[in-house]
Structure 1
Amino acid sequence: MKKIVILTATRAEYGLLSPIIKKLNKEPEIDARVVATGAHLSPEFGMTVNEIKKDGIAIDKEIDILLNSDTPVAISKTMGLAMIGFADYFSECMPDAIMVLGDRYETLAVCVAALNAQIPIIHLHGGEATEGSVDEALRNAITKLSYLHFTSTDEYRNRVIQMGEAPERVFCVGALGVENALHTSFLSKAKLENSLKCHLGDKIAILTFHPVTLEENTAGIQISEIINAIIQHPEITFICTKANADVGGRIINEQLKICSDEFENVVLFDSLGMQRYMSMLAIADFVIGNSSSGIIEVPSFKIPTINIGDRQKGRIQASSVINCEPNKNDILEAIDKALSSEFKKKVKMSCNPYGDGNTSNKIVEITKKFLLENMLQVHKKFYDIK
């Protein structure tokens, strides 16, 4: 039997990985171990490890690494704690591979520990561009540490190959978020209101805004501009979820908390969980902020995305995405456009460029082949493009 560790450190990451975890758990020749770390274990970020447990998924290990601060020094120390904690875990567990998703700093630290332990790394969502965020550099570093790659589009696959990864180890499988969008069982509006303990009203928007980590000290200014815009629309219920544990994230969360205490139509949650989040998308009028979800999952719901600022700059986008600057007037113009009948018609005709919703099956089958046929390695040869 082959042993594989699946790493998850955030609520969004787990939501994407959950169909893979459930399918790997059904494979008799594979021992899948889930390790929860990072924001999952923080009361400040909603102790979202409990969402994993509610799904009936066993957690092999909880590794607490997150410091109670989001300064650059604290994040570097968190990465150090991740390397120490996972070095110990890998020496105990010694898996045949580890699967990671995306571009977070704690993921990079875990991958370095895995490489030192000679554990092959399987990477999801490589090759993507987010020019306004340090995540791009982290993602590319994780790509170079990894052996097996799953990308969400052909263009991203080509980028991974361009970075020296051999084509036979790089697979375009689409985005897991699209699969969740197409296959989640949605809650009714009444059940959502009961679960969230709030009245949703006739018009609904979902707001998620993260710090733009390559910009210095802009989080407070930008979230103020967003708040000053959304309070001009008391007829819209804004369902907000907290920012990630990145530099400046706590500033965003503090200002959203103050806003939600003052305005009845602004409601803040630590986390919605995947089913409630997808159910909200099914009834929402638009999504606003700078989350990758607005670019990847939301177009499948045929609703507009208002993408604010540079965090997602460089990602492939559907025609349903409205890009705007992080200032009040631009945001108000974008909201007017998202609510216009003309743009809504355009959105209904848009296509999601991130796949057909069969991603997890492809990932599981290819991973299984590489594991069972002993095709995963740590050492690799740089692939030169002819």
Structure 2
Amino acid sequence: MKRIVVLTATRAEYGLLKPLMEKLKADPYYDTRIAVTGMHLSPEFGMTIREIESDNVPIDKKIEIVLSSDTPVALSKSMGLALISFSEYFEECRPDALMVLGDRYETLAVCCAATNARIPIFHLHGGETTEGAIDEAIRHSITKMSYLHFTSTEGYRKRVIQMGEAPDRVFNVGAMGVENALNTPCMSVAELEESIGFALGERYAVGTFHPVTLETATAGKQAEELLAALDRYGEIRYLFTGANADTEGRSINRKLKEYAQCHDNLCLVDSLGMRRYLSALKNSLFVIGNSSSGLVEAPSFKIPTINIGDRQRGRIAGETVISCQPERHAIGEAVQKAMDASFREGIKRSENPYGDGHTSEKILEVVKDFFVKERINIKKKFYDIHFEI
């Protein structure tokens, strides 16, 4: 039996990892431990640990690290808490591997603790680029600390190899979000409306807007531009989820709350959870904001995504994605395009570039092969690519 710790720190990350957690728990070969931290344990961000508990997912450890501030100092202090606390947890738990997803600052700190403890790291969604966010550097740092890599596209697989990771440890398995989108039983609009206490009607859009963390003091202004653009389409209902606990995320949430108090066509919730979020996407007119879900999950439903600003710049985008500047007129034009009948008809034939929906089973097949055949050796060699400059 092999002991694997699966880390989850945010609502979105948990939703993506859930199928993988379930398959690991069902396989007697693994002693699966779920470690919960970050935004999950913060009342300000919806205490989304309740969703994990309601899914009857056994939690091995709850580790609080989020401070009541989103300044750079506060985020660094949270990373320090994570490094200290997870160092102690790993000494107590002694796992054979740590499984992580993505590019969050708390994930980087946990991976540092795992590296010091000589615990192999299995990383999902490496090789991706988000040029407007600090996540870019964090993601690549996690890649260099990780042993097995599970990328969402072949292009990202090549980028991980370009970073010196051996090809026989890097696997293109597709995105977990696509698996969820294609396999999660969705709620009807009526059920969703009852669940959130807000009438969506037949014409509604789903929004999530996060700060662009490599920019300074732009979050509030960009949120204002977004809301000004939505004013032009007051006949549409809007369902927004709150911003993450990133620098300036709270300023975006304040703007959204103020707008919702004065406009009865916008509903803001801290978190929808995976099933409600995918249900909302499925029947929406379009997705708007700068969340990766607009590029990864939304294309599975053949609905337009309005991708605003630079947060996701550099990430692979399919035909359903309309990118625009964070300025009200540009956003308004993008909404107009998303509503255009010919555009909507054209994307019905589009393909999602992030895989076929069988991601978790591909990951577990690789992991078991490495464990059973004792192929894990954390003394990695740098894989050089020969080229001419």
TM-score normalised to the size of structure 2? 0.98
* Matched residue, 1:117: 117
Deviations 1:272-296 (A, max 9, x none): 0100001111100100000000011
Q: Give the distance between the partners of 2:37 and 2:56, measured in 1 at CA.
A: 18
* Matched residue, 1:148: 148
Q: Give the distance between the partners of 1:371 and 1:47, measured in 2 at CA.
A: 35
The amino acid that maps onto 2:362 is K
Q: Give the distance between the partners of 2:261 and 2:367, measured in 1 at CA.
A: 47
Q: Give the distance between the partners of 2:320 and 2:171, measured in 1 at CA.
A: 27
Q: Give the distance between the partners of 1:149 and 1:199, measured in 2 at CA.
A: 42
The amino acid that maps onto 2:159 is R
SS at match of 1:180: helix
Given that residues 2 and 372 in structure 1 are in contact (C-alpha distance below 8 angstroms), is that contact kept between their aligned partners in structure 2?
no
* Matched residue, 2:300: 300
Q: Give the distance between the partners of 2:359 and 2:183, measured in 1 at CA.
A: 11
Structure 2 residue 103 is matched with structure 1 residue 103: yes
Structure 2 residue 8 is matched with structure 1 residue 24: no
* Matched residue, 1:357: 357
Q: Give the distance between the partners of 1:248 and 1:125, measured in 2 at CA.
A: 25
* Matched residue, 1:242: 242
Deviations 1:64-83 (A, max 9, x none): 00010000000010000000
Deviations 1:57-108 (A, max 9, x none): 0000000000100000000100000000101100100000000000010000
* Matched residue, 2:81: 81
Q: Give the distance between the partners of 1:378 and 1:260, measured in 2 at CA.
A: 51
Q: Give the distance between the partners of 1:282 and 1:76, measured in 2 at CA.
A: 37
The amino acid that maps onto 1:54 is S
Q: Give the distance between the partners of 1:181 and 1:107, measured in 2 at CA.
A: 24
Q: Give the distance between the partners of 1:217 and 1:376, measured in 2 at CA.
A: 44
* Matched residue, 2:166: 166
Q: Give the distance between the partners of 1:321 and 1:230, measured in 2 at CA.
A: 18
SS at match of 1:206: strand
Q: Give the distance between the partners of 2:54 and 2:218, measured in 1 at CA.
A: 36
User: Gapped runs of 5+ residues in structure 2?
Assistant: none
Q: Provide the identity percentage.
A: 61
* Matched residue, 1:91: 91
Q: Give the distance between the partners of 1:375 and 1:99, measured in 2 at CA.
A: 17
Given that residues 96 and 371 in structure 1 are in contact (C-alpha distance below 8 angstroms), is that contact kept between their aligned partners in structure 2?
no
SS at match of 1:357: coil
SS at match of 1:245: coil
CA RMSD of aligned residues (A): 0.8
* Matched residue, 1:189: 189
Cα shift at 1:233: 1.6
Cα shift at 1:347: 1.4
**Structure 2 matches for 1:158-237, cutoff 5 A?**
158-237=158-237
Q: Give the distance between the partners of 1:377 and 1:65, measured in 2 at CA.
A: 31
Q: Give the distance between the partners of 1:10 and 1:318, measured in 2 at CA.
A: 25
* Matched residue, 1:325: 325
SS at match of 2:126: coil
Q: Give the distance between the partners of 2:29 and 2:247, measured in 1 at CA.
A: 41
The amino acid that maps onto 2:344 is K
Cα shift at 1:377: 3.3
Deviations 1:193-247 (A, max 9, x none): 1111111122110010000001111001100000111122221111000001000
The amino acid that maps onto 1:108 is L
The amino acid that maps onto 1:384 is D
SS at match of 2:26: coil
Given that residues 115 and 378 in structure 1 are in contact (C-alpha distance below 8 angstroms), is that contact kept between their aligned partners in structure 2?
no
Cα shift at 1:49: 0.7
Q: Give the distance between the partners of 2:131 and 2:162, measured in 1 at CA.
A: 18
Given that residues 40 and 47 in structure 1 are in contact (C-alpha distance below 8 angstroms), is that contact kept between their aligned partners in structure 2?
yes
TM-score normalised to the size of structure 1? 0.99
Deviations 1:282-326 (A, max 9, x none): 100100000000011101100000000011011111011000000
Q: Give the distance between the partners of 2:188 and 2:211, measured in 1 at CA.
A: 32
SS at match of 1:25: helix
Range that drifts further, 345-354 or 43-52: 345-354
Cα shift at 1:378: 2.6
Q: Give the distance between the partners of 1:252 and 1:18, measured in 2 at CA.
A: 28
Q: Give the distance between the partners of 1:369 and 1:35, measured in 2 at CA.
A: 24
Q: Give the distance between the partners of 1:266 and 1:231, measured in 2 at CA.
A: 11
Deviations 1:167-208 (A, max 9, x none): 000000000100111001011111111111111122110010
The amino acid that maps onto 2:13 is E
Q: Give the distance between the partners of 2:287 and 2:101, measured in 1 at CA.
A: 23
User: Gapped runs of 5+ residues in structure 1?
Assistant: none
Cα shift at 1:379: 2.1
Deviations 1:305-361 (A, max 9, x none): 000001101111101100000011111111111011011012112111100000011
* Matched residue, 2:61: 61
Cα shift at 1:367: 1.3
Number of residues paired by the alignment?
Answer: 386
Q: Give the distance between the partners of 1:366 and 1:6, measured in 2 at CA.
A: 16
